[in-house]
Structure 1
C-alpha cells in the first residue's frame, strides 16, 4: 500500500485529550494511535483489532492469503472474478471511481502491478525487475475502467489483476475506526493512521505538517475539530534512483511534480485519496470535478501553494 510519507503528527492531544494518552497499535504496515479523553473500552479495542484484521485479509497485497492477492494470481479463476467485499466497501470503490475520473486516469488502483515490478513488492526487495520498465502502465496491466467495475460492495474483475488501494485504503480504514468509536460512545478522539489523521473533538486540534526532507521538523500546521488531514510525499517510501510509491497511473512511473501534498476533507478516505491526487492533478481541476477539500502543496521546484480556506498555513509559504 501507499503510505503518507509527509506525515501529519498531532503536536498535542488537543482540548479534552490529555488524560489517558494514546493507544498505539500496528495496522496497514504503519504505527497507528488513538487518543481519547477517557481510556477506550475493551470492547472498542477488540472491535478496532477486528476491523484491521478484516481489512488486511481483504485488501493487503503484502499478504498471500488476502482476497486481492488470490484474485491477482489466478487462485480465484481466470475471469471474470466477482469479489464479495465487506459491507460498505462500495463507498471506497465509489471514491476511487471519482478520483480516477477527476485525474484523467492518473489515480488507478491497478498500479499495484507497477509497484511490484519496480521493487515495492511483498518481500520489500526494492529491486527493479529485469525488463519491467518497458512494460509499465496500461499496456502491461490495463486500467481501472477497462478491467474493473463494481456493483455495490462487489468488485468484478475481467481477469486476474492486482488491486492496490493504498491511495485511499488507510484513510478508509481510519473512517471505519472512527465510526466504531462513535458507536462505542467515544465522542472525543484523534485517530492517527500512520500520519493520516481523523479528528472528532469539541475544539480544534493542532496538527503539524512534517517536513518531507526532515522528519524531525514541521513545515506548517493546521487546526481541525471535525474532519481529517492526510499527506503524501516522496521521502519515506523511496528507493533506487528517483523511485517512490506514488505512481502516475498513465505511465506506471513515479510522479515527479511534487515533493509533498496535504489535503483536508470531511472523511479520512477522501483526504487520503486527494493527497495522492494532488501529486498528479492540479487542485483547481480536482475541485472542478466536484471534490471538496482544502490543501497545501510543496512542488519539486521549491515553490509552495495553499488553498484559500486552509485552516492553517505552510511556514514556507
Structure 2
C-alpha cells in the first residue's frame, strides 16, 4: 500500500522473498555476493525465531509445548541478542491501545482461519473463544521479559506480525551500515525505510474494493531522506466477508464498522515503530498514541470516505490528495 516512486538515485536493486512477501533493497553500489548470503542467512534465522508459519520456529515450538518448562511451569524463549526493543515496543503498543494490540492475538487469527496451513476456514465455536473478553491469554497478564528472555505463563502463540517486519527492516539497515552502505531504501512490500541524501518520493496507494485494481491509484505522497513510512490496510489479506488480518485483540474480531479505519500510513524514525503504529491506528485514537510518547506522523482513510492526517503531515513534506490519481 506504499509504492516507491523514485529511490533517490540509488541505482542498484537486490530483490528477494522474506516474511511471506517481496523485499527490495536499493543501494548506490551493488551488494557483494558474500554480504547478500550473510543477510539471507540472518533473515532466515529471524524467521526461524518469529514466524508462526514455520513448523519448527521458536514461537511455534513454544505454543506447542515443545520447550522444556521452567520449574514454575513458565515457558522461556531465549531470543537473539537485540530482541529487547521489539518486546519493549509491544509493551508500549499494548498499553497505549488498552490491550487492542496484542502479540498473543495470533491465536485469534488461527481460530478465524488465517492459520499456518492457510485453511481460511473459521473453526467451529470460534466465536466463544476469540479475544481477551473470552479468556484468550493477553500480553499484559501472560508475558514478561527480562532483556532478551521472554517468559510466558503457559504455552501460547506469540505473533509479532504488527511490527515484526518493520523490526527486521531496522536490523537489515544496521547490517547494511555495518558493511559501509550508508545510503539505502529498504522496501518490504510497501513498508519502506529510507536513508538517502536525495529525497525519496513514496506514493500512498488507495485500498482496493471488490473488483478494484489498486495498482497505480494513489491518494497521497510522502518525501523522506531519513525515516520509515509503513502502511496497513484491510484489503490485502482478506479471506471472506468481514474477515481480514487486522484485529481488535480485546474482541478477537476484525476491525469493522461504518467509520472504521480501512487504511493507515505512519511515518517514524524507526521502521518497527512505524509498522506497529500503522496497525495501532485501526484500534486507537491517534492522539492517545501521541500521548503515550510515540513521535510520529500519520494519514488514514475511513470506511465512510473521510480522511485524517497529523497536524505536521505537510511539514514532512507529505500530501493527501482530495481525489485519487493514477500513474507513478
Under a length normalisation based on structure 2, what TM-score does the superposition of the two structures give?
0.92
Pick aligned residue for 2:320 from 294, 303, 314: 314
Which of 18, 40, 44 is the matching residue for 1:27?
18
Please say if residues 59 and 68 of structure 1, whose CA atoms lie closer than 8 Å, have aligned partners that are also in contact: yes
Structure 2 residue ranges without an equivalent (≥5) = 324-328
Cα distance in 1 for partners of 2:175, 2:312 equals: 30
CA deviation profile, 1:261-314 (whole Å, cap 9, x unmatched): 000000000000000000100110100111110000001111001112222111
More RCO (CA 8 Å, sep 6+): 1
Q: What is the correspondence of 1:1-317 to structure 2 with a 5 Å cutoff?
A: 7-14=1-8, 16-17=9-10, 19-20=11-12, 22-77=13-68, 79-138=73-132, 139-213=134-208, 214-216=213-215, 217-256=217-256, 257-310=260-313, 311=316, 312-316=318-322
Mapped partners of 2:153, 2:51: distance in 1: 20
Superposition deviation, residue 241 in structure 1: 1.2
Structure 1: runs of 5+ lacking an equivalent: 1-6
Q: Distance in 1 between matches of 2:35 and 2:321?
A: 38
Question: Which deviates more, 213-222 or 172-181?
Answer: 213-222
Poorly superposed stretches of 4+, deviation over 3 Å: none
Aligned residues: 308
Q: C-alpha separation between the residues in 2 aligned to 1:316 and 1:286? A: 26
CA shift in 2, pair 1:131/1:77, >3 Å? farther
Q: Answer yes or no: is the 8 Å Cα contact 1:47–1:180 preserved in 2.
A: no
* RMSD between superposed Cα atoms in Å: 1.1
CA distance in 2, matches of 1:316, 1:197: 24
How far apart, CA to CA, are the structure 2 residues paired with 1:220 and 1:201?
21
Secondary structure of 2:214's partner? Answer: strand
Asked whether the equivalents of residues 93 and 150 of structure 1 are also in contact (C-alpha less than 8 Å), the reply is yes
